[in-house]
A and B are shown apart, each in its own frame.
Chain A
Amino acid sequence: MIKLEHVTKIYPDGTEAVKKFSLEIKKGEFCILLGPSGCGKTTSMKMINRLVTMTSGKIYIDQVDVMRLDPNELRRGIGYAIQNIGLFPHLTVEENIATVPMLKKWPKTRQRARAEELLELVGMNPKIFLERYPSELSGGQQQRVGVARCLGADPPILLMDEPFGAIDPITRGKLQDEFLKIQSKIKKTIAFVTHDINEAIKMGDKIALMQEGKLVQFNDPATLLNSPKNEFVRNFVGADRVLKGLRLYRARDIMQDPPLKVKVGDNPAKVRNRMKRNMLKWSMLVDGQNHFLGWITYADLEKAKSLREIMVPPAVTTAPETLLNEAMSMMFNSAIGNLAVIDDQEHLLGVLTFDIIRNILGKENSGNQKRFGGSKQ
């Protein structure tokens, strides 16, 4: 647990970078420090491991005042990753990752085992990369090593300053996904600095939005998007904040059962009657093993001899893990405006429609701020 109490930083030239900033990050929580450049988010983070000395206030880590600890010992117990990575160019990947274990004087064999383990965790083959030098790696690989290095001695707390900042958007998205997966396993307490609202929404359990050294709003991402506290927050999250909220869900969280599921062998006339009774414009066609085949529309049923001949095959389908913003743009590509959710064996799991999405977003806006459980992994 990290606790900041009325922390203030005034630089010698008189600039007040952080003003009476208080924040509590619970154990295992992924907390984002968000804000425009110069809002004091990086300064606040660096005061936690004392790279910046606070002017007044208190910072506690697990009830211990950080000012009472030896700064080097304190830092060795906290993982640290920065935007420019700062890998040691003269050391191999292995030596880079084992920096803190080396400072803590772990035996050599344990250092090597740890480096191997961490390299595997970040998705790099130890056999290939342990002996390489940073200059022989791509930007994305360097970032991965940077992340591995900050986990070096398995610290309970991580401080990360835009660790995915300096790479292309595609690699960044991939690294973010992977890091979330890692975090779900290792459950570290994380203070993560970024100025990117999308990254904040995607990664954070909690977001602390800062402005000119002060904390403006501290909430989970859904609340921040749906009930911005003031004009600044509203502007910062953007006019499309409702659409941004789509990123908080995955298809499996909100998909519904198909209103009507029909089998290949069913009689078209009977199906037509059932649809008429339920006032359905479409139904979904599956085979005997619940494999999704396509859409049946009411209008086509009139002169149909079999369901298969009038079936509209799906232009797109989606997996249950798809983020809702992606799912929604797929729906615009689907002829019927609906999206079938299928698993990797093409079994039909559910369906997404614009109505369902509108309901979800509407509910969020009308004050029901329940975050759907497990939407992050």
Chain B
Amino acid sequence: MRKHIILGLLLGILLGLTIWMTSLGSVGIFKMAPPMKVLSATVRHLQIVGAAELLAITIGIPIGFLSTRRACRFISPVLIGTANVGQTVPTLAFIGIAGAVLGMGYKAAVIALLVYAMLPIIRNTYAGIRSVDPAVKEAARGMGMSMLQVTVKVEMRLAMPIILAGIRTSMVVNVGTAAIAGMIGSGGLGELIVTGIAVRVTQLILQGAAPTAALAIILDALIGGVETWVTPRGLKALKSAQWQQ
């Protein structure tokens, strides 16, 4: 409960800051972005994050799932290793490379974000599926569930909370990364920040940074909610039982 209040307060401050900065109109000779511009930049920002995230999910979950299969066991250490190491490459370097190779703009940003967002999803899908108790799978097979039924009704279902946690991480990171992508001309809230940095006007930077932070908080809470919703009741009981020990 207290966590919700703090988050709400923080969100209020960030949104208030955004409105305040926008209402300044201009600082010295520099004009602040008009309200409509902030709004369209936010939409653009969401577009980049959303497109990258959607692609990351559709590619990441199958890759993570397949790397748990026996037939793919030989490449799974490489895949999971790459996913782990890839996470340590600085976002700035990543976006720089993407911009240089694919040319500036929206497409390069989405692709850079997609690769980056895929990593936690692959990793968590792999970990989630691997964490399913082999006895549960054996019982499912032994009672006559088909391979597909075991995958959908047992493995994916039980791994879902962990997979969603991966999506949540990648989504939040992506909101920040998308801001940096402003440097390669992708548009979005990053553009406001980059402009602000270039002319050294704090108010201008804040006008882009505050809504970016607010966006991250909102998306995090949203997926967090979905996570609780899809976590099977039996697993919640399990979790609370573990906590009590």
- A residues sitting closer than 8 Å to B (CB atoms) are 49, 51, 71-77, 80, 82-92, 99-100, 103, 133-136, 149-150, 152, 159
Option from A83, A84, A100 in Cβ contact (under 8 Å) with B144: A100
- Expressed in whole angstroms, the minimum distance between the Cβ of B189 and any Cβ of chain A is 39
Tell me if B142 and A82 are in contact (CB < 8 A): yes
Closest B residue by C-beta to A152:
B143
A46: min CB distance to chain B, Å: 8
Chain B residues lying within 8 Å of A135, measured Cβ to Cβ, are 234-235, 237-238, 241
Q: Are the CB atoms of B142 and A84 closer together than 8 Å?
A: no
**B residues less than 8 Å from A86 (CB atoms):** 133, 135-140
Give chain A residues whose Cβ lies under 8 Å from the Cβ of B137: 86
Main SS class of interface, B:
helix
Q: Are A75 and B142 interface neighbours, CB within 8 A?
A: yes
* Chain B residues, Cβ within 8 Å of A149: 143
A46 nearest CB neighbor, chain B only: B142
- Asked whether B140 lies within 8 Å of A72 as measured between CB atoms, the reply is no
A residues less than 8 Å from B143 (CB atoms) = 75-76, 80, 99-100, 103, 149-150, 152
* Residue numbers in A under 8 Å from B234 (CB-CB): 88-92, 133-135
Counted as pairs of residues, one from A and one from B, with CB atoms less than 8 Å apart, the total is 84
CA distance in complex: A192, B119 (Å): 46
CA distance A197 to B241 in the complex (A): 36
Other-chain residue from B138, B144, B145, B235 in contact with A89 (beta carbon distance below 8 A): B235
Query: When chains A and B are docked, how far (Å) is the Cα of A88 from the Cα of B18?
Result: 49
- B138 touches which of A51, A76, A77, A103 (Cβ 8 Å): A51
Across the interface, do B144 and A74 meet the contact criterion of CB distance under 8 Å? yes
Known: A72-B144, A100-B144. A87 touches B237 (CB 8 A): no
- A355–B136 Cα gap in the complex (Å)? 52
Determine whether B154 belongs to the interface, using a CB cutoff of 8 Å to chain A.
yes
A89 touches B232 (CB 8 A): yes
A99 cross-chain contacts in B, Cβ below 8 A: 140, 143, 145
Are the C-beta atoms of B144 and A87 separated by less than 8 Å? Answer: no
The distance in angstroms between the C-alpha atoms of A257 and B179, with both chains bound, is: 95
In the complex the two chains form, is B139's CB within 8 Å of A89's CB? no
23 contacts between A and B (CB under 8 A): A51-B138, A51-B141, A51-B142, A72-B146, A73-B144, A75-B142, A75-B143, A82-B138, A82-B139, A85-B139, A86-B133, A86-B138, A86-B139, A87-B136, A87-B139, A88-B136, A88-B234, A90-B233, A92-B234, A103-B143, A103-B145, A136-B237, A136-B241
